[in-house]
Structure 1
Amino acid sequence: MTTLKDEAIRYIKASDSSMKYYNLSPQEARALKVVPKWTSPHSPQLAAIETSKISVRDGAQINVRIYRPVLDKILPVIVYYHGGGWVFGNLDSTDAGCQLLAEKAQAIVVSVDYRLAPEYPFPTPLFDAYDALEWVDDNIQHFGGDASTITVAGDSAGGNLATVVAYLAATLNGPKIIAQALIYPVVDVDFTTDSYSAYGEHYGLDKQGMQWFADHYTDRQNYKNPLVSPLHMEDLSVLPRTMIIAAEADVLYDEGLSYAQKLAEANVEVEHIHMPGLIHSYFSKMAFFEAATIDTVEKIAHFVK
């Protein structure tokens, strides 16, 4: 029996509404998802936070935000992909988590504002994510990063993009990635697991919501495509050492655990971290989950150092 943390209960009560985002258009739903700026005594002092435009393969430009800690030396780099079901999210939605990650991991964090579905369905968000990694690798010396210590990270759909980017980098002879840190990632578009049955309503990410996200991201015939559902990749041995952060009361819990087990079977070093009493989407919802977000960042920082 799951015992939710008090902050999870407060969040569920505060966000409970008869107007479900998955009954709205993506454009209407996005208007309800504005993330307030984080102000807190725990907010770190960084050397700089800068937003830049970069070009991607189809000639479009996307934004990246670069977080530099107060350290005057060449630093590791973490390329971060935000969550939001490929439909929501932007640089602001995980700004707090990226600030903390830069400070606690003593790393430069590059947050990627990939284009969103359904306006830009699969594979465009993935291509944006990969092109941003290549841009980081090509320009890493200009912002004080170490090309030999690149990590990819992300939450939810961003975790999905991070691990598929890591796979593509390994198989396409792309930038070398030394680690991936995945916060409750989407790794199998399959709504039939036990965790979907247990937590499919009123736990932060409803089953209907996940179906809505997936349908906007790609056609159903792609659901088992390994570049959409990386659990179905044939050879996971090419992936770098991995941390998977799993919220206990999350529809995605089972697939994340299966992914960790499959990585281990492929002789990939993997840590699966169980976060008791927490729900999907807690990361960077600082009004409710500041302590849990800081704890998560500290775990990732320890892992990547």
Structure 2
Amino acid sequence: MTNYRKFMEPEYGEPAPEVIIYPSQEMDMEHLARWRKKNDYESVAEITEEIRHCICYPNLMKIDTEDVKILGPQGNVNTRIYKPEGEELFPVLIYYHGGSFSMNSIEVYEYVCRYLAYTGNMIVVAPDYHLAPEYKFPAGLNEAYETLVWTKNNIGLYYGDEGNISVAGDSSGGNFAAAVSIMARDQEGPKIRKQILFYPLTTNYEEEITDSEQHYQVGYFLNYNCMNNPMAHYFENEEDVKNSLASPLLEDNLKGLPPACFISAECDPLLDQGLQYAAKLQDAGVKVEYHILKGMLHGFINRTYGKSFEALELAADFVNN
């Protein structure tokens, strides 16, 4: 059995008073396309209604957007570029959305990407990668990497600094950001300046349940128990599960990776995975910054709590400093 140390020992507290615990999302595998469309529509409507009442809303609407298509292994990847006003040279952040590799879209993350572009005064590139189970590992990940290559070669057309590209993602998107950082190093690809991982899924292969899973596996929005193989829809076989690009925590060599910022929710079954990966990066000589947002649940950056904005501002500050 492999034991990983943690970057710090969390307290495993209870949700903050302002937090609403929404029901866990269960996919309708028999009517997947229809279910996804309904889920996206309801999520966008709900989040838009929340953000419209926030003081930042008028400024978010000033962010320009342009939709482009990036040619990937599975065909075109619809991608949205968010650009602040002005013609200066902007830092660039590629954002990979979360959703268990199988749900959500750039529409669901519209406010997240706009807020990052606004508060960080940076260009955000958000790919709508193909989803599992129709497209299993490593399909979406390869598209995530192709987005990095495209950005390096084309972002100058949008006043983006091709020498200042960072990657970010939440949950399964954080898994992509971590894996793309490894791929870029190993393939001598575009240089990634920094990586920002929001409550990341860092391993799909666990030999025992973690403390955070024991505390929060049911009833805290994300129902997650590693013993139940929760990401089976993403993989063809167990060998893929053990691949370090699917489970970055299993990567033997983490040296030379970009500085990492972890932004985790306290009341999240994935909390310990992030803490373990942060410690392993630190042991490999990678600069690590870690933030645990007390009382928050998995997925909280898609809400409008004070700590939702705090988390996005932490990410923007990390990119710019």
What TM-score do the two structures reach when normalised by structure 1?
0.91
Q: Percent identity?
A: 35
Aligned residue for 2:146? 131
Report the Cα distance in structure 2 between the residues aligned to 1:213 and 1:282, rounded to whole angstroms. 20
* 3-state SS of paired residue (1:32): helix
Q: Which stretch of structure 1 is more off in the superposition, 31-40 or 252-261? A: 31-40
Aligned residue for 1:257? 275
Q: Offset at 1:284? A: 1.5
> Cα–Cα, structure 1 residues 181 and 114, in superposed 2: closer, same or farther, change >3 Å?
same
2:60 paired with 1:42: no
Contact 2:91 2:165 in 1 (8 A): yes
2:16 paired with 1:5: yes
Report the Cα distance in structure 1 between the residues aligned to 2:227 and 2:318, rounded to whole angstroms. 29
Report the Cα distance in structure 2 between the residues aligned to 1:16 and 1:254, rounded to whole angstroms. 22
Aligned residue for 1:115? 130
* 3-state SS of paired residue (1:223): helix
Contact 1:21 1:29 in 2 (8 A): no
Aligned residue for 2:118? 103
Contact 2:199 2:263 in 1 (8 A): yes
Aligned residue for 1:276? 294
- Unmatched tracts of structure 2, length 5 or more: 1-11
| 1:199-224 C-alpha deviation (Å, 9 max, x unpaired) | 00011110269956511111351222
| 1:23-44 C-alpha deviation (Å, 9 max, x unpaired) | 7544464233432252233222
Q: Which amino acid aligns with 1:49?
A: T
Q: Offset at 1:54? A: 1.6
Q: Offset at 1:45? A: 4.0
Q: Which stretch of structure 1 is more off in the superposition, 43-52 or 227-236? A: 43-52
* 3-state SS of paired residue (1:192): coil
> Cα–Cα, structure 1 residues 136 and 21, in superposed 2: closer, same or farther, change >3 Å?
same
2:62 paired with 1:55: no
Aligned residue for 1:71? 86
Count of aligned residue pairs for this structure pair: 295
* 3-state SS of paired residue (2:127): strand
Q: Which amino acid aligns with 2:152?
A: D
- Unmatched tracts of structure 1, length 5 or more: none
Aligned residue for 2:164? 149
* 3-state SS of paired residue (1:7): coil
CA RMSD in angstroms, aligned pairs only: 2.0
